[in-house]
């Protein structure tokens, strides 16, 4: 082997060593990059999982809140229906009082509602005959006994109301129908009715 061949062999050997070192260094660098990427990938994965969980928790809270609100609205609607039914039942009970009790109730109402003692009392068609006449006569007697003017008159007109009467005097007409009475006291009585129904 001559000198040139020795030099070539030496260069080859040296270059092979350098190639091995470069390959080894590249492998190590690749492993580091791979490990770094794997960690970054894991970190990103867990960030996405945490973000998804937060979003899911928020959505779940919103849905629970909406469900609770809908439940409250449903309960309130049922309670309002029950309150309306209770007041309707009260109206029915008044309308279905025995005739003498119903007349006495209307007499008291006419006595309290009369401002001048000269009003015209207008009944629904169903009460115009016997009940209307009895109420007007007894209300006049009650007014007279109290020392007040007692000239209430039974109107020949009828009112489109469900029980009770309208009291008309000049420009003033007082609605003393059963529906108007219930409506008038509904606000005041609602808490008592609610306490009876829901406690």
pTM of the model: 0.61
CB proximity list for 189: less than 8 A, separation 6 or greater = 87
Tens-level pLDDT at each residue, the chain (199 residues): 566 677 667 666 666 677 677 767 767 777 777 788 778 788 777 888 788 888 888 888 888 888 888 888 887 787 778 777 877 888 889 889 999 999 999 999 999 999 999 999 999 998 878 899 999 999 999 999 999 999 999 999 999 998 999 999 988 899 999 999 888 877 776 666 667 666 7
Alpha helical stretches, state H, the chain = 3-95, 99-113, 130-145, 178-198
Q: What secondary structure does DSSP assign to 125-158, as a single string?
A: GGGTTHHHHHHHHHHHHHHHHTTS----EEEEEE
> How does DSSP classify residue 117?
S
For residue 168, the cross-strand partners are: 120, 173
């Amino acid at each position: 082997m001559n000198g040139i061949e020795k030099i070539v062999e030496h260069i080859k050997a040296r270059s092979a060593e350098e190639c091995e070192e470069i390959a080894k260094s590249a492998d190590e660098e690749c492993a580091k990059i791979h490990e770094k990427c794997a960690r970054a990938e894991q970190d990103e994965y867990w960030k996405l999982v945490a973000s998804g969980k937060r979003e899911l928790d928020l959505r779940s809270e919103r849905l629970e809140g909406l469900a609770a609100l809908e439940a409250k609205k449903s309960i309130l609607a049922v309670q309002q229906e029950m309150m309306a039914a209770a007041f309707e039942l009260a109206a029915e009970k008044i309308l279905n009082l025995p005739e003498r009790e119903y007349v006495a109730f209307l007499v008291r109402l006419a006595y309290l509602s009369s401002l001048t003692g000269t009003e015209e009392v207008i009944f629904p068609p169903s009460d115009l005959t016997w009940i209307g006449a009895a109420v007007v006569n007894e209300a006049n007697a009650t007014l007279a006994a109290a020392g007040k003017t007692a000239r209430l008159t039974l109107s020949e007109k009828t009112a489109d109301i469900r029980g009770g009467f309208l009291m008309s005097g000049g420009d003033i007409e007082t609605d003393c129908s059963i529906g108007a009475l219930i409506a008038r006291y509904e606000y005041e009585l609602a808490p008592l009715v609610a306490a009876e129904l829901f406690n």
